[in-house]
Amino acid sequence: MAGSSLTAPLAALFFSNGDFVNRGVITVNSLNSNDVVTPGVIVLSEANAIFSNAPDGRLVLESTASADQLFAIRAAVAVNHGSNIVNAGALLYQTSTGALNSFTNRGVVALNGGRLSANVIVNASGGMIETTSNTGSLVNATFNLSGGTVRASGGVLRALAGLNTQAGLVEITSGGTLIVGSTLAGNLFLTNSGTISMNNGTLRSAGLINQAGATVLATGPATIASSLHNQAGGVVTANTANVTVEGTFTNAGTVAMINSFGRFNGAVVNSGTWSTDPTTNLFVSNFSVTSAGTVDADAGDVYNFRENFSNLSTQSNTWDTLNVTVGLTGAGATKFVFDDVAANGTQSWSHAGILLTGGFLGLPSPLSNGVQEVSSFAAVTGFQSNFALGRLEIGNAGTNSLVMVADSFTGDGNTAALFVNDLFIFGASQLIVSNDTRVYYVNANSWSSANVTLLGNAEIHQLQVIPEPSALLLITAAVGLGWLRRRV
């Protein structure tokens, strides 16, 4: 059937010999509304007969068809190189005896209000399955192979029996939604070994698993309405995007966020690399870093904690949350904000840094909260490869927060120590320093001792540079010379 068009309220067409190649247009605009059990059908009855939609062929189920109406292709083998457009009803691929058959797509399947059903739906390299409006459904198990594309762009695409293989490209754009499973929330897991690209889209499933070598990419607003597990070797990245992960997020691979905003409503566990430049992260629930995990932040990054932060990392050489010249104001430094807007109680921060005294001169007086003199800020080894922080903010103008910083590794023989360039405490907020823990800071806002509670042998000290003795002699000599000159 080349270059021709067939439009009909089709009941049945039977072909007893050979294959069927469609190079024109087959349009189904209405079936018998009283018969939704027996579909309209094209039957190739010869054994091993192939139904093929050529690259220039089109098979169209018009929107005038009832949602319950069916149209079936019955053949031993069914392959689409052209276009299957299902605007209503259901397109079925069956064997010559009426059982569901496998279907291979190497062209375009557009589901804009209709359904596609086959025993197995294989979207091969070069194939595209998409929904651009309304709701389209893949009724049976679907395999998106390498080189294939599944796209929800402006509509809702439902993979009712799951994307059993996702090795190709999934695109969710223009307000589109992909739902994996038979419920509207998505009740089947999606395992990604290819690429999932999101720009103003939503992905709903029982959970997204991003395997080694796979990528989840957001270049605009993106919502993952499930848990997310990024395995070792996997990449989750956002570039100028606003990303929300609704469920728990476990990262063993790489998270890279550039000029973006990330909201994480569930607990986050990082045992891989968490990289930001510059980005704001909002952790609504607990954020935990395991011994293998690291945070590689940059100037201008903000990490906002609504609950607890547990840092058990041993990767001090790759951890970077300072990003300011120590001693200068850290307005552009990496910032941690503890802001318990829900008033849940005391937020806990388990800190992995230890007491390093390089650059210190003598002992503070008093020992618990006196000034610690240093030879220079650059000489203070506590700021070097020691989980140091650019700025810590507790509370804000409208919120009073309670934060307790404590040792991540109690009993290891080391005294825990937080070295922070700027320590800002707002309103009646409180910093509680736990036993065997010290806090050293350079700059502060207008908080007072009433904003700090020391437990047990805890200490807090401001760092101040004291010139070397030789510099002091020069200053004294200059002062004396001036005095002598004034006496002349």
Report residue 375: phi and psi, to 5°.
-70, -35
φ, ψ of residue 187 to 5 degrees: the values are: -115, 15
Angle subtended at Cα 131 by Cα 128 and Cα 137, rounded to the nearest 5 degrees: 95
CA distance 252 to 230: 6
Integer Rg of the chain from CA:
32
Give 457's contacts (C-beta < 8 A, 6+ positions apart). Answer: 435, 436
Q: Please classify residue 473 by burial: count the beta carbons closer than 10 Å to its beta carbon, then call 0-12 exposed, 13-18 middle and 19+ buried.
A: exposed
- Predicted confidence at residue 15, as pLDDT, reads 85
Query: Under a CB-based contact definition with an 8 Å cutoff, are residues 433 and 420 in contact?
Result: no
pLDDT score at 332: 85
Q: Give me the pLDDT at residue 66, please.
A: 59
pLDDT at 65: 54
pTM confidence score: 0.91
Token representation of residue 389: 């922080």
Residue type, 308: N
Cβ-Cβ contacts under 8 Å for 30 (sequence gap 6 or more): 9, 62, 64, 65, 69
Q: Which helix (H) or strand (E) holds 161?
A: none
Cβ within 8 Å of residue 363, ≥6 positions away: none
Beta pairing partners, 169: 149, 195
Tell the residue number behind the tokens 């005095």, with chain if given. Answer: 483
User: What's residue 64's pLDDT?
Assistant: 58
Is the CA virtual torsion 373, 377, 383, 389 positive or negative?
A: positive
Note if the bond before 366 is cis, omega within 30 degrees. yes
Q: Are 231 and 255 in contact (CB under 8 A)?
A: no
pLDDT computed for residue 487 by the predictor: 25
Tens digit of pLDDT for each residue in 145-180? 999 999 999 999 999 999 999 999 999 999 999 999
What residues does 286 pair with on adjacent strands?
Answer: none
Q: Which residues of the chain have pLDDT under 50?
A: 1-8, 32-38, 470-488
